[in-house]
C-alpha cells in the first residue's frame, strides 16, 4: 500500500509544482508542462512494478501516436479563449481533439497502426 501512496504523492506533486510554476512564469510553466514528465513517470512506475519490456515499449509507442492529435488544441485554445471564455473554449477544444483523434486513428489504420 505504501508504494501506491508514494506513487500518488509524487505524481500529484508534479502536477501541483507545474501549476505553481505556471502561475509565476507563462514560458517556464509551458516549457515544463510540454516535457513528457507524466509519461516518464508512468514508464518508471511500470518498470518498478515489473512490467515486461515490450509492455513498457508499447506504452511509449502509443503515447507518441496519441500526442499528435492533441497538438492543434494548444494552437486553438489561446485564439478561442479571448473570444468565447474559458469553459466554452475548453469544451470546444476537447471536442475538437476527440474529432481529430478519430480522424487520426482512421488515417493510421491505412498504415497498419491501430489506436482504437
d(CA 108, CA 114): 7
Cβ–Cβ under 8 Å, residues 38 and 12: no
pLDDT of residue 10: 85
d(CA 27, CA 56): 31
CA terminus-to-terminus distance, the chain? 32
Q: What is the DSSP letter of 84?
A: H
> Over 80: is that where the pLDDT of 107 sits?
yes
Mean pLDDT, range 80-101, rounded to an integer: 96
All three cell numbers of 56, joined, read: 513498457
Domain boundaries along the sequence of the chain: 54-116
d(CA 34, CA 30): 6
**Residue 36, helix vs strand vs coil:** coil
Q: What is the pLDDT of residues 4-55, one digit of tens each?
A: 888 888 888 888 988 899 899 988 888 887 778 888 888 998 999 999 999 9
Band of residue 85 on the pLDDT scale cut at 50, 70, 90: very high
Amino acid at each position: 500500500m505504501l508504494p501506491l501512496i508514494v506513487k500518488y504523492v509524487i505524481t500529484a506533486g508534479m502536477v501541483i509544482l507545474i501549476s505553481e510554476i505556471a502561475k509565476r512564469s507563462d514560458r517556464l510553466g509551458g516549457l515544463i508542462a510540454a516535457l513528457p514528465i507524466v509519461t516518464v513517470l508512468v514508464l518508471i512506475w511500470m518498470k518498478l512494478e515489473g512490467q515486461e519490456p515490450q509492455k513498457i515499449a508499447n506504452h511509449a509507442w502509443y503515447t507518441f501516436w496519441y500526442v499528435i492529435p492533441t497538438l492543434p488544441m494548444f494552437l486553438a485554445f489561446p485564439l478561442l479563449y479571448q473570444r468565447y471564455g474559458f469553459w466554452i473554449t475548453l469544451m470546444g477544444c476537447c471536442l475538437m481533439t476527440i474529432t481529430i483523434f478519430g480522424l487520426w486513428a482512421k488515417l493510421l489504420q491505412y498504415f497498419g497502426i491501430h489506436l482504437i
